[in-house]
Structure 1
Amino acid sequence: MSMFLGPIHYWLYDKIGNQEMLTSRFAEAALADGSLDDISDYVRELPQLETVIDEENIHGWLQSRIEDGERRYAALVIALTAKDPGVMDRLTEEAYAFGAQHGLPDGTAPADAYKAFEDFFVNGMPCDQVNQVTENTDQTLSWEQTQDLHARAWSSQGGDVNAYYQLRKSVMDGMLSGSGLQLSMPDTDHYTIHLA
C-alpha cells in the first residue's frame, strides 16, 4: 500500500465502519433488552481516518483495525448466543434490517450488486484478493471465496465462524431485498447473485 493516504484507504476504512455499525446495532439492542449490562468492550467510535491513522504504517494500522473489529464482533455474538442460543434468530433479523437500510435499487444488475458487496464488507486487505469471480453474465454473477480470513477471530473467541457467515448472508439478503435479485450460498465459499 501507499505511504500516503489515498482513496483505497478511505474505501477500506468505510468498510470497517460498516462492520462497526452492525456491531453497535447488535450491542445496543442487547443493552436495551437487558442481555448485556455493559457494551464498552464491543463497540468503538471511528474518528475521521486522517486524525487517527499512523501514516508511518498505514497498512499495519488498517490491518490492526480490521482484526480488532472482527474480534469484538465475534466476541459480542458469541457472548449473546452463550446466554441464549435462540438469540441468533433475532440477530439474523437485525442483520437483514441493517442490510435493507443499505438496500440496492430495483433493477440492479448482478455485477453491480457484487460491486456493492465488495464496497461494503470487510474481506481482509485489498491485497488479499479474497473473492474471485467465476461467472459473470447479464443474469447471474458467481464468485468463490479463496480463503477464510474471518475464522481466526471467531476461533480466538471460542466460537464458530459459521455464525459470521449466517449473519453476513442476512445482511446481503437485506441489501438485495428491493433489487429484484437473490443470493444463493451453497456453502461459505461459494455465492451466486441471480434474478429473483
Structure 2
Amino acid sequence: MALIKTTSPLSPAPPPARDRLLDELRAVDAATRGCAAAALGSRGDAHAELLDAWDTEPDATVRLRLLTALATHPDEQVTQRLAQALRGADTVRRTELVDVLRELPGNAPAVVVLLDDPDPDLRIYALNALRMVPTPQALARVAQLLWDDPHVNVCGVAIEWLAEVGTPTQLPALHAVRARFPGVEFIGFAVDLAVARIGGHD
C-alpha cells in the first residue's frame, strides 16, 4: 500500500522587521532596546515610536541612542515634539534634548516659541538649544529678550549667545540690557565682551 504523504503545518511567518524591532524596543534588556533604536533610526519610518520610547526610557544610554536615531532622519514633526518635550522634562532629560536639538538645522521655529514660556529655566534651555542655529528669526527674538525679559539669568545667557553669533544690529539691545540691570556686575561685563566681539564700541 502506498504511503500517504502528510504535510506538516506551516510555520508562522516571521514578523516584519519593523514590527520585530518595535517589540525589541520594549525588551527588558537595555542593550536590546538600544540596538533596536539604532536599527529603527536607520529605517527612518518609526519617529513616533522612538519618541514615545524616549519619553519612558529609564536608561540614559538607551535614551541617547533613541535621540541619535531620531536625529538621523529629522523632520518638522520630530523637531517640534523634541522642543515641546523640554517643557516637562527633568534637568537630565532637558540637557539630552538640548544636545540633540543643536544638531537639527531646522530647529529654530520650534525652539524660538519656548522663549515666551513663563519658566525662566526653560527659556535658558531654549537659548542653549539655539546656539548652533543663529537664524534671523532667532537673532531677533534673542535680542528682544534683552529689552523685556525680567529674569537676569536669562538675559545673561542671551548676552553670551549674542557674543558668539550676534551682529551690529543687536548692539542697541545690548546697551539697553546694561541700563536695565545697572547694579549687576556680571551683566555689565558680559555686555562689554559681547560688544567687543561684535565689533562695536561701548
TM-score by length of 1: 0.27
**Which structure is higher in helix share?**
2
Name the structure, 1 or 2, with higher relative contact order (CA <8 Å, separation 6+): 1
**Which structure is higher in strand share?**
1
TM-score by length of 2: 0.26
